Amino acid sequence: MRGWIERTVRTDVQARTAYAVADPGTAIRLNQMENPFGWPADLWRACMESLSGAEINRYPDAAGRELIAAIRAHDDLDDAWGVMLGNGSDEIIQPLIQAICDGARPVMAPAPSFVMFEVIAGQCRVPYVGVDLNRDFSLDADGLIAAMQRHNPALLFLAQPNNPTGNLYDEADLRRVIEACPGLVIIDEAYGPFSSRNHQSWLGQYPNLLVMRTFSKMGLAGLRCGYLVGDVAWIEQINKVRLPYNLGVLNQAVARFALTEGRAVLAQQSAALRVGRDQLFDALSARGLRVHPSEANFMLLEVDQPSAVNASIAAQGVLIKDLSKAHPMLARCLRVSIGTDAENAAFLAALDVALKAQR
Ligand SMILES: Cc1ncc(COP(=O)(O)O)c(C=O)c1O
């Protein structure tokens, strides 16, 4: 068997490690930027009732018409813009790269940024170039523009707010970069529900811009529902390489219900997370720690021995993310998602114990 695998599986795939997520058990999960709140019982009941009779014997609507109509209403998107659905926005990165990149011109993104841009480019055998942010995590627009002139990217991903840094880039820098990009630019607004800026109105201003969104962070991570918005002519091309039926009947139906009947609850939950974020920022700053202001539902904090601190916090039953090995600029960084008030308090208590043990 081993010989067969070595002879037949692509060598670059053999060299990869699968995306692994450890079983969280009963730990408090502040490591994946999830919304920690469930739904009220009456909303769940109404959702279940709405699913009765769902035609799971049939293939789903491949075009996702009803869900897209709900997305348009939710985001106030008029029919001039095309929308393509993905099984999470993760999944959309792949058809984007497949449709745009021929393998010669690279995918580019600032660094550090969302890891899946690089991972999926690698899986598609497309070169990837990351261009470092400035030390304060602002966009090095001149550096990125110079790198784009050198590398001629086919695709540029700009996560706004950025993961893992949590910030928005200066608007004028962002505009300069989009204008200078010789390829297609994707603004990834995964953390849009927590951000003070969105870029929907920019779509009409740049012929090479699309916006990617997801409902994961605002409370539907388990549904896997992301989408790409932009000129219908762009969406038409990228849609050609999307797998048909990528969102199941139940996913589409629950997402549609959530965006309509559940809309107010989801909006309240995002608002509560924004408040929790500001409180957590203050609590961490009050401990004398360097904390990076965030427009997302997570934040970065700096500590002296991040891996040891992370291990201690995990041993106390709270999962956060140690990013100290992810990029040299993150050498002191831990990322914590915003949880419920009780979860945030548990995290702070565990952090205090971990920091005390260091002294
Ligand atoms: C910037 C960014 N984009 C996209 C995603 C993917 O989200 P999903 O696949 O859940 O829609 C994430 C997830 O963490 C992210 O941080």
Token pair in block for residue 122: 């690698």
Token pair in block for residue 106: 């690279």
- Dist CA 43 CA 47 (whole Å): 6
Token pair in block for residue 61: 């609507």
Which of 50-83 are b and which e, b meaning 16 or more Cβ less than 10 Å from the residue's Cβ? Answer: eeeeeeeeeebbeebeebbebbbebbebeeebbb
pLDDT at 230: 98
Residues of the chain below pLDDT 70: none
CA 92 to ligand 1 centroid distance, Å? 10
Q: Which of 29, 71, 89, 337 to mutate to test the pocket of ligand 1 (most atoms within 8 A of CB)?
A: 89
Q: Which of 214, 228, 321 to mutate to test the pocket of ligand 1 (most atoms within 8 A of CB)?
A: 214
DSSP track, 290-344: EEE--SSSEEEEE-SSHHHHHHHHHHTTEE-EE-TTT-GGGTTEEEEE---HHHH
Residue 226 in contact with ligand 1 by CB distance below 6 A: yes
Q: Please write the tens of the pLDDT for every residue from 3-46.
A: 999 999 999 999 999 988 888 999 999 999 999 999 999 999 99
- Dist CA 249 CA 62 (whole Å): 10
Token pair in block for residue 242: 């999307």
- Dist CA 210 CA 193 (whole Å): 18
Whether 274 and 197 have beta carbons less than 8 Å apart is answered as: no
- Dist CA 292 CA 121 (whole Å): 29
pLDDT at 19: 87
Q: Which residues contact 330 (CB under 8 A, 6 or more apart)?
A: 112, 164, 300, 323, 324
CA 89 to ligand 1 centroid distance, Å? 6
- Dist CA 26 CA 289 (whole Å): 28
Which one, of 249, 308, 345, lies nearest residue 54 by Cα? 249
CA 190 to ligand 1 centroid distance, Å? 6
Q: Which of 31, 92, 97, 114 to mutate to test the pocket of ligand 1 (most atoms within 8 A of CB)?
A: 114
Burial class from Cβ neighbours inside 10 Å (0-12, 13-18, 19+) for residue 9 reads: exposed
pLDDT at 103: 84
pLDDT at 99: 98
Residue 149: CB atoms within 10 Å: 10
Residue 5: CB atoms within 10 Å: 10
Burial class from Cβ neighbours inside 10 Å (0-12, 13-18, 19+) for residue 165 reads: buried
Q: What is the largest CA-CA distance in the chain?
A: 62
What top-level class would CATH report for the domain 17-39+264-358?
alpha beta
Sign, CA torsion 338/292/226/71? positive
pLDDT at 347: 98
CA 219 to ligand 1 centroid distance, Å? 13
pLDDT at 358: 85
CA 90 to ligand 1 centroid distance, Å? 6
Residue 269 in contact with ligand 1 by CB distance below 6 A: no
Whether 334 and 300 have beta carbons less than 8 Å apart is answered as: yes
- Partnered with residue 319 across adjacent β-strands are 29
CA 214 to ligand 1 centroid distance, Å? 7
- Residue 89 CA: nearest ligand 1 atom is 11
Token pair in block for residue 176: 């300069």
Domain made up of 53-260: CATH architecture = 3-Layer(aba) Sandwich (3.40)
Q: Please write the tens of the pLDDT for every residue from 296-331.
A: 999 999 999 999 999 999 999 999 999 999 999 999
pLDDT at 359: 77
Q: Where exactly are the structural domains of the chain?
A: 17-39+264-358, 53-260
